[in-house]
């Protein structure tokens, strides 16, 4: 009976020690990873490059991201977040994680989320000038003025734009405006 209790005690101590060492090892591995420089900062990577995808996996490990937050994970947006965080030294994964977490706590993040959700909604609705009275609310949320709304209605009324969704039409409209300037 004493041997059985002693065996249980030793087993418990051994399991606790192994758990502690594994946690310490994991923490050490995380610290080493967080001290490295993200790949997308070393070279101008595209969102589909495998090295950028490794950067994304690191971010997903240390930052809680939902389906809307995934839109943050684009090189241009991450550059902007870093610039706004005023990082003045070599950027590491740790600084990137801190910058993303800080961004998620400020007002810009709430606006970003609203914008992403609005774009997703726009992508689900086909251009329909006959339903413009209802659909124009989406564009009012984007900050369109009455003149902008009239101009956009004229734009989407062209037969070439009938097969687009509102997000595609909006991007085409903005591209056309940019080309005029």
pLDDT tens across 112-154, in order?
Answer: 999 899 999 999 999 999 999 999 999 999 899 999 999 999 9
What's the structural domain count of the chain? 3
Domain that holds residue 139: 125-180
170 within domain boundaries: yes
Is there a single domain that holds both residue 129 and residue 166?
yes
Closest CA to 113 of 143, 157, 164, 72: 72
State how far the Cα of 152 lies from the Cα of 122, in Å rounded to an integer: 14
Instruction: Give the phi and the psi of residue 97 in degrees, each rounded to 5.
Output: -60, -45
Is there a single domain that holds both residue 27 and residue 42?
no
Angle at 35 between CA 58 and CA 22, to 5 degrees: 70
Is there a single domain that holds both residue 41 and residue 66?
yes
pLDDT above 50 for 22: no
Is there a single domain that holds both residue 41 and residue 21?
no
Is there a single domain that holds both residue 49 and residue 59?
yes
6 within domain boundaries: yes
**Stated pTM of the model:** 0.67
């Amino acid at each position: 009976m004493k041997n059985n209790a002693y065996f249980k005690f030793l087993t418990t101590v051994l399991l606790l020690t192994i758990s502690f060492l594994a946690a310490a090892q994991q923490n050490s591995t995380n610290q080493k990873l967080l001290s490295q420089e993200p790949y997308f900062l070393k070279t101008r990577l595209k969102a589909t490059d495998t090295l950028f995808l490794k950067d994304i996996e690191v971010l997903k490990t240390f930052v809680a991201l939902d389906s809307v937050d995934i839109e943050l994970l684009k090189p241009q947006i991450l550059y902007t977040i870093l610039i706004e965080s005023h990082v003045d030294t070599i950027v590491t994964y740790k600084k990137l994680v801190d910058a993303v977490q800080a961004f998620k706590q400020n007002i810009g993040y709430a606006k970003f989320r609203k914008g992403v959700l609005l774009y997703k909604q726009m992508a689900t609705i086909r251009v329909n000038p006959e339903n413009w009275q209802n659909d124009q609310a989406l564009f009012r949320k984007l900050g369109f003025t009455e003149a902008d709304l009239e101009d956009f209605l004229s734009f989407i009324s062209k037969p070439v734009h009938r097969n687009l969704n509102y997000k595609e039409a909006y991007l085409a409209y903005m591209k056309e405006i940019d080309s005029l300037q």
